[in-house]
Chains A and B, each alone.
Chain A
Amino acid sequence: GAGVSQTPSNKVTEKGKYVELRCDPISGHTALYWYRQSLGQGPEFLIYFQGTGAADDSGLPNDRFFAVRPEGSVSTLKIQRTERGDSAVYLCASSWGGGPYNEQFFGPGTRLTVL
């Protein structure tokens, strides 16, 4: 079956602009995660959804970052007033359920470049 998909694969924007990054999880997966990966670093947790609700948003760096998952499937990560430091690869992952014992499957990521 299809894996996790993310669009766009690359996004170049200017400082101060608004961007939306989309994640389409594996069908049937109730848990969805967003991570950010900077060059030479491991993925950094941002937010976790169980169904439609954000069960844990403790990783969002500030209030410029927001994510939604209105129907419990596709999720959108929204970044307002982008800054150069937001440049990174944004990874989405999904799993059958939440909790520490469920394997997370990663999408290909969106490479965001803020000029």
Chain B
Amino acid sequence: QKEVEQNSGPLSVPEGAIASLNCTYSDRGSQSFFWYRQYSGKSPELIMFIYSNGDKEDGRFTAQLNKASQYVSLLIRDSQPSDSATYLCAVSSNNNDMRFGAGTRLTVKP
């Protein structure tokens, strides 16, 4: 079992729709959770981080964390074609390293 699991996609949504990206993790000691966006050929850039159970909203993005279920998600409202990218879920514990999922490829169709 991989430490961080994501559906590889591709996930395709129409412009203006809500895109829902999911991630599960295996280490119950995980303390912080990150969503990175990676455009093709580019390096990852941080979109959201969340530490506590519940929802965290930032503009069109909402991160949701459920530690009991070891589940974290990212919702993108009013999806735009420019949101088309690979979204990486990353999990960190006290060990200072960050474990990434393989990423979900999102396509937003105009």
List residues of chain A with CB under 8 Å of any chain B CB. Answer: 31, 33, 35, 40-45, 48, 50, 55-56, 58-59, 91, 98-101, 103-109
Contacts and interface: CB of A to CB of B under 8 A. Distances in A.
Contacts, number: 59
Given A42-B101, A106-B43, A100 B94 contact: yes
A100 B92 contact: yes
B17 interface: no
Interface string B73-91: 0000000000000001010
B58 interface: no
Given A101-B32, A107-B43, A59 B90 contact: no
B90 to A, nearest CB: 7
A109 B94 contact: no
B96 A101 contact: no
Contact of B97 (A50, A56, A107): A56
Contacts of A108: 42-43
